[in-house]
Amino acid sequence: MAVQKLYPRGTVKRIVKAHSNRSVSKNADILIFLDYMLFMQELMREASIRSRKSGEKNISANTVRKVTEVRFEVDLRASLEDS
Amino acid sequence: MSTSTPNARGRRSPFVTATPSGDTTLTGLQRLPSHTRYPLTPSRLVTAATPGTQRSASRYTPRARGVGAPATPYGLRARQQRAANTPGRDRRRSGRMQRETTFDILRNLGRALAPISQPIRSSPQEKPAPIEEPIDEFEQLDNEPEIERPRLSLPIQESEEEGEEASPEMPPPRMSLAFAEEDMDITYQSVEYPRDTSIRDRDRLSMMSRATGRISGDFDETRLESDDADETGIVGEDDEAEDTMISGGDFDRGGETEDLGRFHFDLNFPSPAAPPLEDPTGGDMNDMDDFELSTAEQPPAPSDDDDDDGVGGDFGFGLDFPPAASPSQSPGIVGGGLRDEAIPAQGKQKKISRHGIPVPNLPAGVVKKLATRFARSGAGSKAKINKATLAAIEQASSWYFEQASQDLAAYSKHAGRKTIDESDVITLLRRQRHINNSTTVFSLAQKHLPKELQQDMRLAMPP
């Protein structure tokens, strides 16, 4: 395994900081990126399932977009549930 | 004598040791038969066989017992009576013994069984059987994570059905439709909608029609009132506009434009000044403009600036306009779905967050690496990700980060902090059902993160 950084920590921190207008504590970006990885896992899983179902061989951009839509719907619903 | 259960046994043992002495005294006195009889009916013995003198003697001569055996038969009798009376404790002990024996039996049983018995489990020990389907890769993909997040599968199915033929836009609001129907019913008498018209209702309608457009007149009044209020409250209301509006209400009372104007006036506040800006024949177009205004939130008609500022700014921006920076990147809520034109427009230039801070992009290499990793782990074979797909994934990632950051900010704000903490992310993970009773952050980190990051994470949050 190549000794390569998994992700640029500063960038993630800056992204979150820009969107939230709050500072991020020292190691919270690890967890944020962990969450992002889980999100990506789910996204790719759903995309591959959907692409298989529609008979495509590779994951197309359209599939990803559709999955993204659903994902946001679900997220919205979840936040509505929790609130 | 209500003894608490824990020391019940401890309390009993002194009685047991105390009774033999009493018995020996009684056997020494040779009066056992009455003694054996008293536990059944002690009160009868007391009341029947003892005059008050004997009782008082037995009560007031405690020294006699301490001195020695009583000489007189009265003394004997008194002693016996005392033995019958005092063992209130004996009597109570017997009663309590009866009460406690059942409890003791159960408790002793419990104690005897305690080291052996196992905690109760439900008898059918089967695991949730996997769904009997021909094992294809979909199934494998579905069962890949340990615990499926339950709410994912359902909305996908739903949105597949509706997403194929129709765009996932929100349906038009029902409120306006109901309004329109009502208007039709009132103004056009001839239009018959399927509803149960009782006679009373019909009478009422005819009365309305006889009253020469009472409803519209009513609404004219209300509009005048509101305009007056506006005039008093806000300075920038021009008089000629009001005049035109009144005249319009006069010469097409009950007409189409009148209805539309009224409907439009009732629904959204920021536009009471808008109809007077143009002549009443153009009321339709005016309405259309205003509906666009509420969504595009930029006044498209540069007609009258101070007027717009005066009225619309007073009502509308407080009420139904989202904060002005939101439509820049808010994901799919305002536009009602994915906005495809945003993807090519994003390009390389830096985005600006809603707080006005430039947002860097996650490097494409990182995203691609993650995407191929997870795509491959799902599909088994080498999954290729072309450029458009990568762009879509990056778009999704940026949306994800925006959403997650806002959630994290909300969590930290709720906790009264100024920085986003680890606990906020934990809360987010828990809300997303990534963390539950069986999955911890550490197990997730062990699964996904390299060792250095795990160490940093453990440093940040001691378990």
Give tens-digit pLDDT for B141-178.
666 655 556 554 444 444 444 444 444 555 555 554 44
* Chain A: residue whose CA lies nearest to B423: A28
Nearest by CB to B403, which of A27, A45, A75? Answer: A75
To which residue do tokens 């906005």 refer? B339
Q: If DSSP codes are grouped into helix, strand and coil, which group holds residue B351?
A: strand
Q: What is the pLDDT of residue B118?
A: 80
Nearest by CB to A35, which of B156, B340, B429? Answer: B429
For chain B, percent of residues with pLDDT exceeding 70: 30
Q: Highest-confidence range of A38-47, B45-54, B133-142, B214-223, by mean pLDDT?
A: A38-47
Q: Is the model more confident about B348 or about B410?
A: B410
Residue B51 has φ and ψ, to the nearest 5°, of -70, 165
Q: What is the pLDDT of residue B134?
A: 58
Q: Is the pLDDT of residue B323 over 70?
A: no
Per the prediction, chain B carries an average pLDDT of 59
Q: Do A64 and B393 touch (CB under 8 A)?
A: yes
Q: What is the pLDDT of residue B102?
A: 84
Q: How many CB pairs under 8 A join A and B?
A: 235
> What's the rounded Cα separation, in Å, for the pair B79 and B76?
5
Q: What is the pLDDT of residue A38?
A: 93
For chain B, percent of residues with pLDDT exceeding 90: 9
- ipTM, two decimals, is 0.88
Q: Do B168 and A49 touch (CB under 8 A)?
A: no
Element (H, E) at B72: none
Give the predicted TM-score (pTM) of the model: 0.40
Mutate to test the interface with B, among A30, A54, A62, A69 (most CBs of B within 10 A): A30
Q: What is the pLDDT of residue A55?
A: 87
Nearest by CB to B359, which of A8, A15, A62? Answer: A15
Residue pair B399/A71 in contact (Cβ under 8 Å)? The answer is no
Nearest by CB to B383, which of A59, A66, A67? Answer: A59
Compute the Cα dihedral for B83, B87, B90, B92 and give only its sign: positive
> What's the rounded Cα separation, in Å, for the pair B387 and B343?
12
Q: What is the pLDDT of residue B349?
A: 58
Q: If contacts are CB pairs under 8 Å, which of residues 28-57 in chain A contact chain B?
A: 28, 30-32, 34-49, 52-53
User: What average pLDDT score do residues A8-26 get?
Assistant: 92
Q: Do A59 and B389 touch (CB under 8 A)?
A: yes
Nearest CA distance, A9 vs chain B (angstrom): 10
CB < 8 Å to A13, chain B? none
User: What average pLDDT score do residues B200-205 get?
Assistant: 51
CB < 8 Å to A24, chain B? 419-420
Nearest by CB to A49, which of B138, B422, B449? Answer: B138
Per the prediction, chain A carries an average pLDDT of 84
* Residue B16 in tokens: 């047991």
Nearest CA distance, A63 vs chain B (angstrom): 8
Q: Do A58 and B385 touch (CB under 8 A)?
A: yes
* Residue B179 in tokens: 């309004």
> What's the rounded Cα separation, in Å, for the pair B104 and B448?
57
